[in-house]
Amino acid sequence: MTRSALCDRLIVGSHVVTCACVADGFVKPILEGISFKLLRLLEIYGFFERRNGTLQYEEVGRFDNAFCEFRTSDKT
Protein backbone atom coordinates (compact mmCIF):
# COMPACT_ATOMS: atom_id res chain seq x y z
CA MET A 1 0.00 0.00 0.00
CA THR A 2 1.24 3.44 -0.88
CA ARG A 3 -0.01 6.17 1.44
CA SER A 4 -0.76 9.70 0.39
CA ALA A 5 -2.02 12.53 2.56
CA LEU A 6 -3.43 14.21 -0.55
CA CYS A 7 -6.32 11.75 -0.72
CA ASP A 8 -6.99 12.53 -4.36
CA ARG A 9 -6.22 9.43 -6.36
CA LEU A 10 -6.53 5.67 -6.45
CA ILE A 11 -3.80 3.65 -8.15
CA VAL A 12 -4.86 0.23 -9.43
CA GLY A 13 -1.93 -1.39 -11.19
CA SER A 14 -0.90 1.09 -13.85
CA HIS A 15 -4.27 2.86 -13.72
CA VAL A 16 -4.94 6.02 -11.75
CA VAL A 17 -8.47 6.95 -10.69
CA THR A 18 -9.24 10.37 -9.26
CA CYS A 19 -11.17 10.21 -6.00
CA ALA A 20 -12.45 12.45 -3.26
CA CYS A 21 -12.16 11.91 0.49
CA VAL A 22 -15.53 11.64 2.15
CA ALA A 23 -14.94 10.91 5.85
CA ASP A 24 -13.50 8.31 8.23
CA GLY A 25 -11.29 6.79 5.56
CA PHE A 26 -14.00 6.35 2.96
CA VAL A 27 -13.34 7.59 -0.55
CA LYS A 28 -15.58 8.14 -3.54
CA PRO A 29 -13.83 7.47 -6.86
CA ILE A 30 -14.91 9.67 -9.76
CA LEU A 31 -15.98 7.16 -12.40
CA GLU A 32 -16.90 9.41 -15.31
CA GLY A 33 -14.95 8.47 -18.42
CA ILE A 34 -13.12 5.42 -17.08
CA SER A 35 -13.15 2.10 -18.91
CA PHE A 36 -15.23 -0.98 -18.17
CA LYS A 37 -11.98 -2.92 -17.63
CA LEU A 38 -10.98 -0.54 -14.85
CA LEU A 39 -14.46 -0.71 -13.32
CA ARG A 40 -14.09 -4.49 -13.31
CA LEU A 41 -10.67 -4.25 -11.61
CA LEU A 42 -12.16 -2.00 -8.95
CA GLU A 43 -14.93 -4.55 -8.41
CA ILE A 44 -12.43 -7.42 -8.17
CA TYR A 45 -10.38 -5.56 -5.56
CA GLY A 46 -13.49 -4.86 -3.51
CA PHE A 47 -13.99 -1.14 -4.02
CA PHE A 48 -17.42 -1.67 -5.56
CA GLU A 49 -20.03 -4.39 -5.71
CA ARG A 50 -22.40 -5.23 -8.51
CA ARG A 51 -26.08 -4.65 -7.70
CA ASN A 52 -28.97 -6.63 -9.25
CA GLY A 53 -26.73 -8.04 -11.99
CA THR A 54 -26.34 -4.64 -13.65
CA LEU A 55 -23.34 -2.39 -14.19
CA GLN A 56 -24.29 -0.17 -11.29
CA TYR A 57 -21.53 0.03 -8.73
CA GLU A 58 -21.85 1.05 -5.12
CA GLU A 59 -18.99 2.40 -3.07
CA VAL A 60 -17.70 -0.20 -0.63
CA GLY A 61 -14.00 0.69 -0.46
CA ARG A 62 -12.47 1.81 2.81
CA PHE A 63 -8.99 3.10 3.45
CA ASP A 64 -7.32 3.38 6.84
CA ASN A 65 -6.47 6.84 8.12
CA ALA A 66 -8.27 8.58 5.25
CA PHE A 67 -5.55 7.64 2.77
CA CYS A 68 -6.81 6.78 -0.66
CA GLU A 69 -3.76 6.08 -2.77
CA PHE A 70 -3.75 2.31 -3.17
CA ARG A 71 -1.49 0.16 -5.31
CA THR A 72 -2.26 -3.38 -6.44
CA SER A 73 -0.84 -5.73 -9.03
CA ASP A 74 -2.35 -5.93 -12.51
CA LYS A 75 -3.49 -9.53 -11.96
CA THR A 76 -7.13 -10.17 -12.88
Number of structural domains, the chain? 1
The reported pTM is 0.38
Residue 13 lies in a domain: yes
Burial 43-71 (b: 16+ CB within 10 A, else e): eebebbeeeeeeeebebebebeeebbbbe
Provide the residue range defining the domain that includes 44: 9-66
Residue 43 lies in a domain: yes
Residue 73 lies in a domain: no
Average pLDDT score over the chain:
53
Give me the pLDDT at residue 27, please. Answer: 54
Residue 41 lies in a domain: yes
pLDDT digits (tens, 9 = 90+) for 26-60: 555 666 666 777 777 767 766 665 555 544 444 44
Using a pLDDT cut of 90, give the percent of the chain over it. 0
Largest interatomic CA distance in the chain: 35
Give me the pLDDT at residue 6, please. Answer: 43
